[in-house]
Amino acid sequence: MSRFITISLTKRQVSCRARLLDDDAPLTSQAVWDVLPQTGDAVHAKYARNELYALLPRITAAPRRENPTVTPIPGDVCLFDFEPWEIGNPAYGYEPGSTAYEAAGATDLAIFYGRNNLLINGDMGWVPGNVFGAIEEGLGEMAEACNDVWRNGFAGEQLTFARA
């Protein structure tokens, strides 16, 4: 039986629904499921292109690599696992004392809403993400809202992942 999550932009009042990829990423899917709901500041990616994410306290049960990609497609829902030293660079724009600087590291839960994404970072090289979900409902509306975040800013916006 399939499991689903709802992903919402709180301020813009837009949601989509994603199916967990339990067959392709069982450990990642379960690790995320077990900690839901999660809400964090919505951030539009600098490097990956059409990505919106929330940086959250590290989900320690998530595997480092499972069903990885560096070329996510529209509708992919990914988990990125970071050590503290990987994202604590001030150039990334995270405020000192934020989740990016936690001693345990951080987890980035992300959605991809458009084509031509490439997960490469000038400081680190390739940054594979675990694809653990596929957006099946509401991608068009979410893509419009994500594009609005890119064009008009993400200050005050939050991204929520919850069981559906």
Give the pLDDT confidence of 74-101 residue by residue, as tens digits: 999 999 999 888 887 777 777 777 887 7
CA atoms 136, 48, 41, 29: torsion sign = positive
Neighbours of 13 (CB within 10 A): 8
Is there a contact between 135 and 7 (Cβ–Cβ < 8 Å)? yes
- Whether residue 115 has pLDDT greater than 90: yes
Q: Which domain holds residue 23?
A: 4-163
pLDDT given at position 133: 98
Picking from 78, 85, 123, 90, the residue whose alpha carbon sits closest to that of residue 102 is 85
CA 163, CA 136: separation in Å to the nearest integer?
A: 15
Give the pLDDT confidence of 9-61 residue by residue, as tens digits: 999 999 999 999 999 999 999 999 999 999 999 999 988 899 999 999 999 99
| Token duo for residue 8 | 């919402």
Picking from 37, 98, 50, the residue whose alpha carbon sits closest to that of residue 76 is 50
| Token duo for residue 117 | 């994404």
Quote the number of domains for the chain: 1
Is there a contact between 25 and 66 (Cβ–Cβ < 8 Å)? yes
Q: What's 22's domain CATH number? A: 2.40.100.20
